[in-house]
Structure 1
């Protein structure tokens, strides 16, 4: 019975392990036992030089998902792959994922919008480049990554006033 299992790898070697595992499946004629190898990723929107850039980021660094029919041969095939340190489970005994976990890890439950990642830090000076307060400068007091918003303390009439702006409405000074 085909189930999803989590394989522990060296961090940063997930794609190499995926390639090695797929190559070993073909060369050791185990296509009937291993269906799919996946490195879980998500699309993340970052602001670089005031431009939106969408990149793929690993959601589980150090892990690879394998859809396979677990038996002695397939277990040995995965365990013997270079870069694999073992299966995730109690005492290195592979424990299959539930369907809900698989759906969440592979982003099947909903069409998620790409998540923005802040390129800013609290206390950093920024200049508002769009909106009603454009050309004002201020200091970041809060970062809301989920809403892709910043709270900036802008000096208006000699007083610092908190203003909420989007990541794309400011640039670093």
Structure 2
């Protein structure tokens, strides 16, 4: 049956009543609630007796380090804020019910207002890309023998490109005194990862 010949055009329905196999779809959700949506989705599907339709929920994340109580802690953040990927067998009723789940806006559609299906290869490449970027961050990290009073350059973060002087060296971070504007103004102390610093003498070389 041609999609254009279907009588019900109010909903972005599939050609069949239910997918023969699970397909990858994209849900547009509220920013910052991606993980909560994944739990809400599982609870909803369990409630309506369709939990077996859902095979996987994929939320691309990257791990960043933030300062908490003057200590760096690892935090997860979404790479594609506002989107989650689900491998599921959809049916007509379920498609119309998805926006009723808390923090879910809609399912991503193609130009013909049908649910957009992602190929397995696209998801595989996305997962590989995120994995390779994390690996690249580790491989690019260099270690230097820093010392108090050393002139350094910040190469990542808020003060990227600014020179400063090391004030303190801790186990997980280094405190650097910088002049963001001019030496006419007071210096600003900032805590920086060792991998985000490079000695001035190394930069000159």
Instruction: Using structure 1 for the length normalisation, give the TM-score.
Output: 0.63
Q: Does 1:58 align with 2:57?
A: no
Q: Does 1:126 align with 2:164?
A: yes
Summarize the Cα distance change of 1:114–1:20 in structure 2 as closer, same or farther, 3 Å threshold. Answer: farther
Higher fraction of helix:
2
- Which structure is larger by alpha-carbon Rg, 1 or 2? 2
Unaligned runs of 5+ in 1: 131-135, 141-147, 155-160, 165-173
2:122 corresponds, among 95, 101, 107, to: 101
Instruction: Using structure 2 for the length normalisation, give the TM-score.
Output: 0.55
Quick check: 53-62 or 116-125, which moved more?
Answer: 116-125
Aligned residues: CA RMSD: 3.8
Q: Does 1:163 align with 2:163?
A: no
Quick check: 67-76 or 45-54, which moved more?
Answer: 45-54
Q: Does 1:75 align with 2:113?
A: no
What is the aligned partner in structure 1 of residue 33 from structure 2? 13
- Structure number with greater CO (CA < 8 Å, separation at least 6) is 1
1:42 corresponds, among 52, 62, 67, to: 62
- Aligned counterparts of 1:51 and 1:118: Cα–Cα separation in 2: 18
What is the aligned partner in structure 1 of residue 135 from structure 2? 113
Q: C-alpha displacement at 1:59, in angstroms? A: 0.6
Give CA deviations for 1:39-72 in whole Å, capped at 9, x if unaligned. 2212234577886543211111111111101221
- Aligned counterparts of 2:96 and 2:34: Cα–Cα separation in 1: 19
- Aligned counterparts of 1:85 and 1:94: Cα–Cα separation in 2: 13
What is the aligned partner in structure 1 of residue 23 from structure 2? 3
Aligned residues: 147
- SS of 2:43's partner is helix
- Aligned counterparts of 1:162 and 1:45: Cα–Cα separation in 2: 25
Unaligned runs of 5+ in 2: 1-20, 139-154, 170-175, 181-194
